[in-house]
Structure 1
Amino acid sequence: MKCPFCNPLAEDIVAKNNLCYALWDRSPVSRGHLLVIPFRHTPDFFSLSVEEKHALLALIDTGKGVIEENFQPAGYNIGTNVGEAGGQTVMHCHCHVIPRYAGDVPDARGGIRGVVPYKQKY
């Protein structure tokens, strides 16, 4: 299967640096959902080089600025899925930067813990 992240179209790239690029998620969880992706095809966060990890984190900061400029969210969830058991469906490393808005869910407490729904509330 062809990797959807290996050859991004220039017009889809929202921000980039020398090792990573960012684009709007095509199936967004919320308005402004951004993906930060290394140019190099590598399966997950743990397979990134130290330089790629630094570039990814730097681009998350840049992407936050782009999101703030366009959407003014009240908070964020940032995360990466690793492996099928972790929910990864595209086996090219990518990090989700998901803007959150006041009232977007009835009770946001537990945030990222919601990946295992019955463990979200503690």
Structure 2
Amino acid sequence: MQLRPECPFCHPVYDLEQRIVFETANCWFLQHEKAQGVLEGSGVIVPKQHRASPFELTPQEWQETQELLGLVKPFLEKIAPDGYTLGWNVGEASNQSIGHSHLHVIPRFNDEPYAGKGLRHWLKKPENLRPGKSGDAR
């Protein structure tokens, strides 16, 4: 298995604030203590083998990602979210801060200040239009 010594997702047990909630043969669902303040219940699904992006996942890793989503949803129902935001950041331009593929699983609540604002909310604003481009960001 290809692992990188500096990668927190290759070695989740090295970070005492990160816990493995669910595990399959090839993937983990992790929650980090620092994320629980604002993003209650949030976590990430990561392949155990170092993959830079979801474009590199094996068919087995995709299957196990789906399997973990099936475990995570009932687990998160104890905090009674009103919805979920699921998302991948791939590359620097997308704000991927850890170079190991990870699917964000973020419970959402109707009483949040940003309720109703999903992944595209900020991206489709006119101020995000690239210089020299024109168009409608639906």
Gaps (5+ residues) in structure 2? 127-136
Counterpart contact for 2:108–2:115, Cα < 8 Å: no
> In the alignment, which residue of structure 2 is the partner of 1:76?
84
> In the alignment, which residue of structure 2 is the partner of 1:64?
73
> In the alignment, which residue of structure 1 is the partner of 2:42?
33
1-10 or 47-56, larger mean C-alpha shift: 1-10
Gaps (5+ residues) in structure 1? none
> In the alignment, which residue of structure 2 is the partner of 1:12?
19
Separation in 2, partners of 1:89, 1:79: 14
Counterpart contact for 1:5–1:92, Cα < 8 Å: yes
Separation in 2, partners of 1:52, 1:25: 21
> In the alignment, which residue of structure 1 is the partner of 2:121?
114
TM-score by length of 1: 0.85
Higher-Rg member (1/2):
2
> In the alignment, which residue of structure 2 is the partner of 1:87?
95
Separation in 2, partners of 1:95, 1:107: 20
- The structure 1 segments of at least 4 consecutive aligned residues displaced by more than 3 Å after TM superposition are none
Report % sequence identity: 32
Pick the structure with more helix per residue: 1
Q: Secondary structure at the match of 1:59?
A: helix
TM-score by length of 2: 0.76
Paired residue for 1:102, among 91, 107, 110? 110
